[in-house]
Amino acid sequence: MHIDKGKCVGCANCVPVCPLGAIAVAADGRATINLDECVECSTCYRGLSQEHLPGWLIRTLRRVLKLVRLRFEPDPDVCPTAAITFDTLAWPRTLRAAFSDPIVPHESTGIGGRGTAEVKTNDVTGRVGPGQAGFVVEFGRPGVGVRFRDVNAATTALAAAGVTFEKNNPVTSLMSDVPRGQLREDVLGEKILSCIVELKVPLGRVPDVLRVVEDVARRVDTVVCVGVSTPCDAQGNDPLKDMLTGLRYDFYRGKVNLGLGRRTNPPAQEAAPSPAGGRS
Ligand code: SF4
Ligand code: SF4
């Protein structure tokens, strides 16, 4: 994203719209974008209506009104001169839009947003079977963002703990060495709004993974959220409940799927006992 300085009249309407605080009005009275902080989310472009008033007209009007101590300000939800402009992005900057702009789909999964349906669709995908725990570890949020360098610190630590990363996930698709959780060198400096690392382990390894996530969360320069889920047993009990409360985590059911979808898991898993479909 960039701002056409020839058009911008420095009204500052775009400044509070940016979730990363990447826009500021510079000393020359025109807005500018800090491209190192910008995550290409397009909020500034889509969040403001674009009017097409000539910049020279607004500047002249302001100068005249100033003589009589009046001001001209456009409505706060408008860029009066359509000065905010899309750039054609090149790799690896394209990743910023893919992970930050909800209408840009991920090439690896074809899904927009963070590019993953997560384990909330487990009732039909069967990714996480009985006796397994599926984790979603989210890095960054609006207002903070995250660099892939910090995501890499987490994925390499998780890999060392013996987790299995979900194949159909955009972060996994950026790994040059999946068993080691190593992301490609050329993406490490890129900043995005947020991403979700998905992995699974045997149920008994849940405390180990949580310890790794807690340790990583203290070291990285962003916020980290973690969720863990498993199929309920045949009686509808959640095997994670006692484990998580024993580790002093608040336990609640984030989502309960009803199993109304068409199952897509492969035949080998079809033979396993059918989960009741719950999720913590
Ligand atoms: S809203 Fe448009 S005219 Fe106003 S400061 Fe931003 S880019 Fe410039
Ligand atoms: S594209 Fe997003 S991050 Fe970049 S300047 Fe616009 S609102 Fe801010």
45 φ, ψ to 5°?
Answer: -70, -45
- CA 56/CA 159 separation, integer angstroms: 57
Ligand at shortest distance from the CA of 28 = 1
Tokens of 257: 């799927």
Helix or strand holding residue 191 (H, E): strand 191-192
Within 6 A (CB) of ligand 2 lie 1, 18, 20, 22-23, 33, 38-44
Cα 117 to ligand 2 centroid, rounded to whole Å: 25
Query: Looking at the whole model, is its pTM more than 0.75?
Result: yes
Note every long-range contact of 170-178, with CB atoms under 8 Å and residues 24 or more positions apart, other chains counting: 170/98, 170/99, 170/106, 170/108, 170/109, 170/114, 170/115, 170/116, 170/195, 171/195, 171/196, 171/197, 171/198, 172/197, 172/198, 173/106, 173/108, 173/109, 174/95, 174/148
Ligand at shortest distance from the CA of 37 = 2
| 44 CB near ligand 1 (under 6 Å) | no
pLDDT in tens, 219-276: 999 999 999 999 888 888 888 999 999 998 888 776 655 656 666 656 555 444 444 4
| 1 CB near ligand 1 (under 6 Å) | no
| 58 CB near ligand 1 (under 6 Å) | no
| 38 CB near ligand 1 (under 6 Å) | no
Cα 98 to ligand 1 centroid, rounded to whole Å: 25
Cα 32 to ligand 2 centroid, rounded to whole Å: 11
pLDDT in tens, 33-87: 999 999 999 999 999 999 998 988 888 888 888 888 888 888 899 999 999 998 8
